[in-house]
Each structure stands twice: as structure tokens, then as C-alpha cells.
Amino acid sequence: MSLDHWYIYGAGGLGIETMDILQSAIRRGLQKPHHCAFIVDHPTATEVLGFPVVAVGDHVPGAKVTIAVGEPFARKALLEKVEGLGLVLQSIFSPDAFISEYAEIADGVIVAPHVSIQATAKIGRNVAVNTASILGHDIVVGENCVVSSMVNLGGGTQVGTLSYLGMGALVKERVQIGHSSIVGMGSVVHIDIPDEVIALGNPARVVRRNEDKKVFK
């Protein structure tokens, strides 16, 4: 077993961004893993960004892992998978993010550069918070969510598990977004959004059910 190995699960766009965040933390002395690599189910390359790409099954047991895929339901499936593989779920925080010491952040969370997470915010396991997003005081983000770049969550906002917030979405304070829902890019949310729907626009309105549970078609 080795906690000196650290895998980024996924070698796509979010994967390379997450590896870059990890390397930034290492360079500044905030993290010191011995060996970094990508891990994927079916490798199509031997390395990405100069780091090895390892197939599931060839990994080091007991290593750290951070899940870096942008689909909430895929994140959930991979979380269940890595737990079965005996890997240790680990968060990665950019040195250029602000995270209040009074915030509560669970394992496996990615916090990208220029994110601001305010006091008493609560972030569940395996959440990805992308570049320059603002998460206000007392917000709650459930497990396996994806918060895209430049999202702004007003104080007291609650986001249910497995939901996806598109780039630049604005959510009014104390609004609740249900589980397994998608809020589209640039949407402005003034009212509560129910479970398992897709909401778009300014003001955001429900346009249909989120039947296939996929963001990227």
C-alpha cells in the first residue's frame, strides 16, 4: 500500500485541469505525493501532460485518488468503483482559492483557482468546484455535484446531490435546487428548482425532465 501515489481518475478536460491544480499545490509545498498519474478504464495514450496513464487494475492499492470527470452520475459511479478498489478518496484545493476556515468540505472535492468558499459553507463528497466560482455563506452542495466556472451561489443556497450548475449560473440567496437537476449556462435562478429537471434562462424556468441524467450529449 502507498499513500505516496496519487491518481487523477479521468484524463479529459477536467482531469488535466485537476492534475495542474495538484502540481501547483506540490510546487508550493502544500502537497507532497511521491508519484502522480492519471487512471482510466481504457487508456488510449501512455501519458498526458507528461504523466503516466494507468489502467484500472494496474494501480497501486491504497493510493490516493481524486475523481475528475464532469458528469455528476459518472462521478457517483466512479466513487463507488474506487471505494471497491481500495483507493483513498482525496480532495485537491488550488493554492489560489479562498476557502474559509469555517467551511466544511468533505473528501474528494476539487477546488479550482480563484474559487471563493465562504464561512459555514458545506460541500459534500466528490464535488467539483470550477474556476472563479463563488459559494456564499451557509450554502450546501450535495455529493457528486459539479459547479462549473464562474457560478455564483448566494448565501443559504442549497444544491441537491448529483446536480450540475452550468458556467456563469447565478443563484439567488436561499434558493433550493433539487437533486439530479441541471441549471444551464448563464441562467439566473430566482426561485426553487425541483428534483430531476433541466432549468434554463433568465429568469430560469424548467424546460423538461432530466430523464437521461446526462449533461453532455
How far apart are the C-alpha atoms of 83 and 202, rounded to whole Å?
A: 40
| 61 CB-contact burial (10 Å; exposed 0-12 / middle 13-18 / buried 19+) | exposed
Residues labelled as active-site residues: 137
SS (H, E, C) 76-123: HHHHHHHHHHCCEECCEECCCCEECCCCEECCCCEECCCCEECCCCEE
Rounded CA separation 19/35 (Å):
12
